[in-house]
Amino acid sequence: MTKPVLVMAQINPLVGDIDGNCQKILHFIEQASEIHEASLVVFPELCLTGYPPEDLLLRPSVERRVERALEKICQAVQDHYIILGYPKIFGGALYNVAGVVHRGRIIAEYCKHILPNYQVFDEKRYFTAGTEACVFEWQGLQVGLTVCEDIWTSEPIAKAKHAGANLVLNLNASPFHQNKQHERESLLLQRFREVELPVVYVNMVGGQDELVFDGGSFTVDSAGEIATRARSFEEQLVAVQLSIDVESRGVSFLGECVDHSSELESVYQALVLGMRDYVDKNRFKSTIIGLSGGIDSALTLAIAVDALGPERVKAVMMPFRYTSQLSRDEAAAQAKMLGVDYQSISIEPIYDSFLNALSSSFEGMAPDKTEENIQARSRGVILMAISNKTGALVLTTGNKSEMAVGYATLYGDMAGGFAVLKDIPKTLVYRLANFRNSFGAAIPQSVIDRPPSAELAPDQVDQDSLPEYEILDQILALYIEQDCSATQIIERGFDRDTVYHVLRLVDVNEYKRRQAAVGVRITQRGFGRDRRYPITNGWLIGD
């Protein structure tokens, strides 16, 4: 007897493009049938709208658009069972729904029970929580449905088992952060130990503003083992053959089981995918980077080329009297190495024009950070002018360490549309640069080895005004990602004055971060939708 085939449809939808997502779903259904002879195809959570749809869910026409798309899918589905996610109103309330389509109609619907409202999630703003289990029959099995966060608590899957489920499908839009795949798999193995039910976990893939969905769909069989695992960061159909024990209704899965990626590989892939989808989904044909000869812009350039290809990336060196010859030479060398369009435009005449225009306003005042910021803003003007003229998206190059302490200039090096390193601490920047070079030279070694400097003053290095990055990044991780107090950080062995200095810099620079470009989130607490502190406040550091 032929073993039934289930396909995990790990797709990359576009938020708000309900018609386009519908066509993608129909295409993947056709491919699953023709290539894999699938009888059941599982799509991710809210795949019709994309995730997170945010306030698009409040638009009056969203219900009509979803209904039209579901009608098209129903008309196309006969012998298959298609499980997909969409929003739907029942009794005047909006629910996050997983529906089962078979023989031209929706035969079952499940409303997500557990609505996450932490970190990047805000589902209680839009949805009402469901309460009832949903089980349907397929291939002699009773199949239970759950959606994403439902699997992170015990009750929903226990309800599915109580309703008679022999197999559970879990539809996900689970965003990436470091070590996330290990967390998911450990969690599902824990759920298995509680209920002893096999689970099919299907996750979305793709970039959506600051979020990246990494896929990594997988199955846990009736022996409590990870049986199959899809590739991460790739849109794909993953065919899984099922063997069903007639007496016990136990299930075993046969299919591809790829190895886990390393931490650095996962982060780098997330950055590449996040940039590619931001540029492509927002329909930018090209990008432009201010290439300084430093490590941050060098890594940004390498990511951009890997994401988009060299023909869609332009690099501009904007030297000044403080720009070293090493910076000039290595910027040009990297641009040539990666095959990107390269140009050098001096900011000397622009800077001098600004100072001449401001001479009466600055009369009697000594030079200070103002003149340094004018250098950065001169560069910002150049990049934004080229962007306006050509339509290229400006890629900013600041990292998380700099954004945390305000080591960036508003309307200068912060000017731009996408900040791929926004959630990458400086120490991780160096590790990623070496990782990228491990599979092909992309960043000159001298750029990695040199002391970091903004080169806004003679002989300037970052550590003139900041602690060593090894120390700084540890303090920042404790404060930003773990919400530790100054006292708790000091108790970890860090110098009191350094801790207070760093925490003060983080707090007073919230206004800058509110005006920063969106960037890829790779930690459990990035500067974006999951960290919300007031700009105006009287909070004092300490206990």
Domain parsing of the chain, residue ranges: 5-259, 265-462
Report the SS3 class of residue 173: coil
The CATH class of 5-259 is alpha beta
For helices 295-308 and 325-338, the axis angle rounded to 10 degrees is 10
Q: What is the dihedral of CA 512, 515, 518, 523, to 10 degrees?
A: 30
Report the SS3 class of residue 338: helix
**Residues in the chain with pLDDT < 70?**
1-2, 453-464
Report the SS3 class of residue 160: helix
Per-residue confidence (pLDDT) for residue 457, from 0 to 100 = 64
Pairing of strands 135-138, 141-147: antiparallel
Per-residue confidence (pLDDT) for residue 464, from 0 to 100 = 63
530 Cβ partners below 8 Å, 6+ apart? 118, 119, 120, 521
Query: What's 223's DSSP letter?
Result: T
- Gap between the Cα atoms of 518 and 516, Å rounded: 7
Report the SS3 class of residue 97: strand
Q: Which sequence positions are flagged as catalytic?
A: 45, 112, 148
- Gap between the Cα atoms of 199 and 464, Å rounded: 54
Q: What residues form DSSP beta bridges with 187?
A: none
Per-residue confidence (pLDDT) for residue 456, from 0 to 100 = 66
| CB 201, CB 217: distance < 8 Å | yes
- Gap between the Cα atoms of 132 and 110, Å rounded: 8
- Gap between the Cα atoms of 130 and 166, Å rounded: 21
- Gap between the Cα atoms of 405 and 286, Å rounded: 31
- Gap between the Cα atoms of 64 and 57, Å rounded: 12
- Gap between the Cα atoms of 241 and 141, Å rounded: 14
The CATH class of 265-462 is alpha beta
C-alpha of 495 from chain center:
34
Tokens of 298: 């060098």
- Gap between the Cα atoms of 478 and 404, Å rounded: 12
H/E stretch holding 206 reads strand 205-208
What's the pTM value of the predicted model, to 2 decimals?
A: 0.94
- Gap between the Cα atoms of 521 and 529, Å rounded: 10
Phi, psi of 316 (to 5 degrees): -125, 120
- Gap between the Cα atoms of 325 and 318, Å rounded: 12
Query: What's 186's DSSP letter?
Result: H
N-term to C-term CA, the chain? 69
- Gap between the Cα atoms of 520 and 351, Å rounded: 32
C-alpha of 239 from chain center:
26
Report the SS3 class of residue 450: coil
Per-residue confidence (pLDDT) for residue 170, from 0 to 100 = 97
List Cα–Cα distances, 434 to 270, 437, 446, 463, in angstroms: 17, 5, 12, 22
